[in-house]
Structure 1
Amino acid sequence: MFKTIKNDLPASIVVFFVALPLCLGIALASGAPLFSGLIAGIIGGILVGALSGSNIGVSGPAAGLAAIVLTAIGTLGGYQNFLVAVVLGGAIQLLFGVLRAGIIGYYFPSSVIKGMLTGIGIIIILKQIPHFFGYDSDPEGDFAFVQVDGENTFSEILNSINHIQLGSALIGILGLGILLLWDKVLSKKGKIFQLIQGPLVAVVLGIVFFVVTQGNDSLGISSTHLVSVPVPDDLDSFLGQFSFPNFSAITNPEVWVVAFTIALVASLETLLCVEATDRLDPHKNVTPTNRELLAQGTGNIISGLIGGLPITQVIVRSSANIQSGGVSKMSAIIHGFFLLISVILIPKLLNMIPLSVLAAILLIVGYKLAKPALFKKMYQLGWKQFVPFVVTVLGIVFVDLLYGIGLGLGVGIIVILLKSYQNSHFLHIEDKSNGKHKIKMTLAEEVTFFNKGAILKELDSLPIDTNLEINLMNTRYLDNDIIEILEDFLLKAKERHIDIKLVSKRGVVENPESFIEFFNTRPQSNMSIS
């Protein structure tokens, strides 16, 4: 892993600057202590990063769980009672890993995964615009459409236009310019520009700008527009920021309900993120999903024991890692150590970083996830890919992450059912011969109850005086529901003077008396009948 440190160290710096405000913002949106978000970020980076099989995935507190956490803290009667649910949720995730439930992530269509990445990219851009212009009423980690302050994504943007803070906007624009210059020009000029990343330069410039303009009425940046890391006075006050579970609440049934909810939602978000990051990975590594669940479960147990928020693998940080050239898990681990060292040694320095500079970094991340060219590419792939993709994007932007994914998956399933309905058979119609139509129906490789409607429609539409050939040569699976349809059709066939020829690998049968009897007594060697 240390062989790739020249790639992983610069990437870890970028991930650190992306993760820091998100850890704090998600904690604020969750109604939890700010330090709990940092704990989750540190554990997600160091511990989960070390245990995970992912080379480029980065874990930490997830915005998708913020609403669940906010509700659960109130329902369970306090944060310490909630921490019991986090620990139990981690234990349940361990059980999921042991039971090999990680395969679930592979059942989500590619169009939905791409829609998830694009939707998150758009959300990042929209949510960072207010911070970019110095309007910070909304927590940094609130990714839902309807926000905790009662505004929605678009009303917040309109409000920010009317409350532009000149200093924040100016350093945000300068920071964005540096990032683009570094990405498009300087990074190709020499190794020094690859080692020293643009985001680090932008952040240093932001701190210098804050110090120089402090006290200036027009350009000065107020504390509400800066990073806000808790600053302990001494060791005791630092240790006092940790919270511990109240295990006497373990007998409360609601604690177990919240624990299962956390385990299910966190596992699903993680598995989807794993699928998405593996697609973004230029080296196309495949993450072992069951090992990932074990790593996440361990991380949540430890995080809950010392007062941290629930952890998942997070696409925002993971994509920032990939875009910054991260190659191995050392990037995630080092970013965790950066979080730990910085909150201990330099919290006051961190609190000089303007949020508008960090917003500029996230704007670049969001754009790379939601490039306009992707919409054109998905459209060119056809409606079966484009519709689930667009529905997923819209659901994420206008509701939230899980709702959008659920909508996209639902549309994807409908598309599959529709195509299954259409592709159950191939019908070839020849000209009349001796006064009869000659029709050949070739059944697909797998024919299930999904195909009942299409086959029934074709059989009912056959004209009187028809020679029908049903070809099963390529059919490997035939559902009993289809056999019953064929059996019922025999009576209609006699009434409508339809002659049937059944062709299979076991031979040819003219006008069978019973399809059920034929399939039960003479199954094809390559066919499964259920």
Structure 2
Amino acid sequence: MTTQLEDKSQQQTGRRPNAPNTLGADIAASLVVFLVAVPLCVGVAVASGVPVELGIVTGIVGGLVVGLLPGSSLQVSGPAAGLTVLVASAVAQHGLGMLGIIVLGAGLVQILLGVSRLGTWFRAISPSVVQGMLAGIGLVLILGQIYPVGGLEQPSTTAEKFGGLGELAVAMVTTPQGLAGVGLAVAALLIATAWKKFAPAAVSLVPGALIAVVVTSAATALLALPVKKIEVGSLLSSLNPPALTDFGAINVAVLGSILTFALIASAESLFSAAAVDRMHDGPKTQYNKELVAQGVGNSVCGVFGALPMTAVIVRSSANVQAGAKTKLSRVLHGFWLLLFVVALPGLLAFIPTAVLAALLIQAGWKLLEIQAVARLVREHRSEAFVLVLTAVTIVATDLLIGTLTGLAVAVVKTAIEVSRLSVNAQHSEDRVHVELGGNATFLRLPRLLDHLEKLPTGKHVHLDLSTVRHLDRACHQAVENWVAEHRRNNGSVDVAMPAKAG
């Protein structure tokens, strides 16, 4: 009788026996993610050279729109430090008015990639290229954000950033803005680091970055420090929806930016998904659905003229570590962002730009992953070469050229490594036995011909290619030509070909 009553009660409530109550955990986690997101949304917008409110809008869309869609359950989306370089470059080249067009187009490309089930292919990109891409972004981010710390405007090009370091160093130690900015930046980094290590357990989930922002902002106000602060306007008035005339201005350069935004944002989101999946035991990411969700989010951001979004590892890891159980936590974080910017926007005006720059420098440093690079140099030097080349090319040129360069070098490196060819010659008095193994492709053709041409003329040669896994047409023709030449020089040859000659 008791069992029947329990079954009837479960049917009425729709709950399984001993089903955990996730609501409280998700609400608590959403507040933690919200506190992490506020300074990052603002900082990424400032670093990208767009109004602060557009970063908040992207965070809201990442919660309220992408948070509801299928794909990943605990991954959180919003404006990412990794895209600041790309956004700043696009705004400088095409103007703020075209940002919505570019982000909208990138979102539509992402949706198309997801619907075409190409999302899982992003996992095939060489990890050294991705790591190099992130390291390059980190270097550019650090190089750009040290200028606001010193109270100077960030130069627009990499060459100007390097060229202005001398002036920046002087400003940091001689001007009131520079001295105050450096002091606030150092204080913010020390507070954020110390809070993570020494915070009491009861408040350890409160992010150190938020504590750093609150303390340094309060100190700035109390001491009336001469530093630049965040400029905040109305959320609605800051929206920058593309006009119909903007679509007529689309050219090859804009299409290139759209494709670059789509590919970089997709790669960052899906690599973040792989990392987040390792952090929890819940449902794993469905890559194609997640790519569609990111595309929908970016399309909405494009309509509003806001920043592009990706899944962000900092917010996602905070969500998991705070105990989130379902996607409700990431949806609520978007709601808290909306409530904050509507009810308390004036609080943002107290934040010094030097403090946000310091937090972004810290984010850029994390992107470098120095320890992982050092380990890669020790264990896989060829992979480390691809990583360093990608990062340096990004710093020297731009994100697209650097990433494509890294991909091209990685493909060539892999082709060379796969095309390993062994040549073993055993000489006797009247004959030579030559055995080839591995893959005989055009990449190894010079080595193959070098060995064959060194064989003595006039002797019998047994050329054994039976263990060659792949023999392409270039090597096949080279062997045939050498055999004909050797026979013309009074030598004899018998050849054992592979079962399937390529």
Which TM-score band (shorter chain)?
0.7 to 0.9
2:500 is the alignment partner of 1:502: no
Equivalent residues of 1:266, 1:312 under 8 A apart = no
2:66 is the alignment partner of 1:48: yes
RMSD of the alignment, in Å?
3.5
**Change in 2 beyond 3 A, CA 1:282/1:463:** farther
Give distance in 2, aligned partners of 1:293 and 1:407.
24
**Change in 2 beyond 3 A, CA 1:25/1:256:** same
Identity in percent: 23
Quick one: which of 195, 198, 208 aligns to 1:185? 198
CA offset digits 1:361-393 (Å, max 9, x no partner): 333333333243233212112331121111122
Give distance in 2, aligned partners of 1:122 and 1:489.
52
Give distance in 2, aligned partners of 1:242 and 1:346.
18
- Opposite residue 172 of structure 1, the aligned amino acid is A
CA displacement at 1:332 relative to structure 2: 5.2
Equivalent residues of 1:118, 1:393 under 8 A apart = yes
CA displacement at 1:181 relative to structure 2: 1.2
**Change in 2 beyond 3 A, CA 1:21/1:207:** same
Equivalent in the alignment of 1:217: none
**Secondary structure of the corresponding residue to residue 13 of structure 1:** helix
Quick one: which of 168, 171, 187 aligns to 1:174? 187
**Secondary structure of the corresponding residue to residue 229 of structure 1:** coil
Residue pairs, 1:246-285, within 5 angstroms: 246-247=243-244, 250=247, 252=248, 254-255=249-250, 257=252, 260-274=255-269, 276-278=271-273, 280-281=275-276, 283=278
CA displacement at 1:397 relative to structure 2: 2.9
- Opposite residue 389 of structure 1, the aligned amino acid is L
2:220 is the alignment partner of 1:227: no
- Opposite residue 438 of structure 1, the aligned amino acid is H
Equivalent in the alignment of 1:517: none
**Secondary structure of the corresponding residue to residue 137 of structure 1:** coil
Equivalent residues of 1:145, 1:400 under 8 A apart = no
Equivalent in the alignment of 1:347: 345
Equivalent residues of 2:141, 2:361 under 8 A apart = yes
CA displacement at 1:255 relative to structure 2: 2.5
- Opposite residue 462 of structure 2, the aligned amino acid is L
**Secondary structure of the corresponding residue to residue 255 of structure 1:** coil
Give distance in 2, aligned partners of 1:372 and 1:487.
51
CA displacement at 1:65 relative to structure 2: 3.4
Equivalent in the alignment of 1:389: 387
CA displacement at 1:243 relative to structure 2: 4.2
**Secondary structure of the corresponding residue to residue 350 of structure 2:** coil
**Secondary structure of the corresponding residue to residue 232 of structure 2:** coil
CA offset digits 1:278-327 (Å, max 9, x no partner): 56548168754433432233223322333334x2426xx53465378477
Residue pairs, 1:92-131, within 5 angstroms: 92-131=109-148
CA offset digits 1:115-145 (Å, max 9, x no partner): 2222333333333323334x14128xx7x62
**Secondary structure of the corresponding residue to residue 136 of structure 2:** helix
Quick one: which of 62, 74, 79 aligns to 1:60? 79
Equivalent residues of 1:16, 1:335 under 8 A apart = no
**Secondary structure of the corresponding residue to residue 158 of structure 2:** coil
Identify the structure with the greater helix proportion.
2
CA displacement at 1:213 relative to structure 2: 1.8
**Secondary structure of the corresponding residue to residue 227 of structure 1:** coil
TM-score by length of 1: 0.76
**Change in 2 beyond 3 A, CA 1:259/1:305:** same
CA displacement at 1:350 relative to structure 2: 1.0
TM-score by length of 2: 0.79
Equivalent in the alignment of 1:490: 483
2:466 is the alignment partner of 1:472: yes
**Change in 2 beyond 3 A, CA 1:93/1:372:** closer
**Secondary structure of the corresponding residue to residue 189 of structure 2:** helix
Give distance in 1, aligned partners of 2:478 and 2:30.
61
Give distance in 1, aligned partners of 2:274 and 2:229.
34
Residue pairs, 1:307-456, within 5 angstroms: 307-309=305-307, 311-313=308-310, 317-319=312-314, 321-322=316-317, 325=321, 333-421=331-419, 423=420, 425-430=421-426, 432-444=427-439, 447-456=440-449
Equivalent residues of 1:206, 1:357 under 8 A apart = yes
Equivalent in the alignment of 1:515: none
- Opposite residue 153 of structure 2, the aligned amino acid is S
CA displacement at 1:58 relative to structure 2: 2.9
CA offset digits 1:125-175 (Å, max 9, x no partner): 333323334x14128xx7x6256xx87674574364354534333333222
- Opposite residue 154 of structure 2, the aligned amino acid is D
CA displacement at 1:52 relative to structure 2: 6.2
Q: Aligned pair count? A: 466
2:159 is the alignment partner of 1:137: no
**Change in 2 beyond 3 A, CA 1:387/1:85:** closer
CA offset digits 1:247-301 (Å, max 9, x no partner): 3665x3x426466434311221123313543565481687544334322332233
Equivalent in the alignment of 2:15: none
- Opposite residue 183 of structure 1, the aligned amino acid is K
CA displacement at 1:229 relative to structure 2: 2.0
Give distance in 2, aligned partners of 1:391 and 1:273.
19
- Opposite residue 169 of structure 2, the aligned amino acid is L
Give distance in 2, aligned partners of 1:94 and 1:113.
22
- Opposite residue 272 of structure 1, the aligned amino acid is A
CA displacement at 1:478 relative to structure 2: 4.0
Equivalent residues of 1:88, 1:259 under 8 A apart = no
Give distance in 1, aligned partners of 2:229 and 2:60.
21
Give distance in 2, aligned partners of 1:82 and 1:370.
27
**Secondary structure of the corresponding residue to residue 179 of structure 1:** helix
**Secondary structure of the corresponding residue to residue 204 of structure 2:** helix
CA displacement at 1:208 relative to structure 2: 1.8
